[in-house]
Amino acid sequence: MTRLTNGTATVLLLSLVCLVFIASEVQARIVGPTGSRSRSSHQSSHEFILEGGLAEPGDELKGDFWTTEQGMGAGTGYELGLRFRQYVSDWFAVSPAFHYTRFGSAEGVLDDGYGTVPYSITVSNYRYSLDFQAFMGPGDSSFRPFLTGGISLINNRYKDEVQYGGTYQTSINTPAYHGGVGFKMSNIELVGEYFYNRFDTTNLPPSDGTRTYDWDYVAIRVAFAFGR
């Protein structure tokens, strides 16, 4: 995994601290004065999930911008999202979600013929997903592994900026597919997913016609679920 960039470590730390704080408050409310957990005889069929974690770009996305044909120089970034989960049964759920992913920017200097000037290249995306999740173990268990997978509409975003040279921005919408595995531990979840994110466009470097771009990536998220 590449070094953390663009405040990734700070964002991740703050996300984890917030999740732990919220989980502690909820835990304190549902544990009685004797220390025993009071469990409702009826669980809700839905819940909301706040998610945050790391996003690791695939080989082409993190390839060097200058020495590879389609590399964007992206580094390890972060992902934040909100999910709604509807349980169809104790073992299966349908889950629409929205996430924002930003990868670490490529930064450096280039020679524009008059001298050297700083530049930056940033890749990010907005993802609208419909996931299907299969759980193992009883519905009221405190530890449940699960499989997750689905389809997304991803708005892939590219931005480059050169000092005194202006800014270029573009975006490409494309369907994408993803799958992974997770662990649900009461209200806390840990999930790892691989995203198959590829598209054709004329709007990205090297700007020599239509090309197919491979922007696959992996996300590892920590989440807090509430409402069930």
Q: Per residue in 146-170, pLDDT tens?
A: 999 999 999 999 999 988 888 999 9
Confidence (pLDDT) at 14: 58
pLDDT digits (tens, 9 = 90+) for 18-56: 555 555 454 445 444 444 443 444 678 999 999 999 999
Amino acid at 218: V
Rounded-to-integer distance, Cα 39 and Cα 140, Å: 9
Amino acid at 131: D
Supply the pTM of this predicted model.
0.81
**What mean pLDDT comes out for the span 207-223?**
96
Q: Does residue 3 register a pLDDT over 80?
A: no
Who has greater pLDDT, 139 or 86? 86
CA quadruple 227, 177, 92, 189: dihedral, nearest 10: -40
pLDDT digits (tens, 9 = 90+) for 116-152: 889 999 999 999 999 999 999 887 788 999 999 999 9
Q: Does residue 68 register a pLDDT over 70?
A: yes
Rounded-to-integer distance, Cα 63 and Cα 118, Å: 19
Confidence (pLDDT) at 115: 72
> E strands along the chain, which residues?
46-57, 75-87, 92-104, 106-111, 116-135, 144-162, 166-185, 188-196, 198-201, 211-214, 217-226
For 119, the 3-state DSSP assignment is: strand
The closest alpha carbon to 20, from 52, 45, 43, 47, belongs to 52
- Contacts of residue 66, Cβ cutoff 8 Å, sequence gap at least 6: none
Confidence (pLDDT) at 32: 43
Confidence (pLDDT) at 27: 45
For 7, the 3-state DSSP assignment is: coil
Confidence (pLDDT) at 114: 74
The average confidence (pLDDT) of the chain is 86
Rounded-to-integer distance, Cα 40 and Cα 156, Å: 43
Q: By the 8 A CB rule, do 215 and 201 touch?
A: no
Q: By the 8 A CB rule, do 103 and 76 touch?
A: yes
Who has greater pLDDT, 43 or 199? 199
Share of the chain above pLDDT 90, in %: 67
Rounded-to-integer distance, Cα 143 and Cα 146, Å: 10
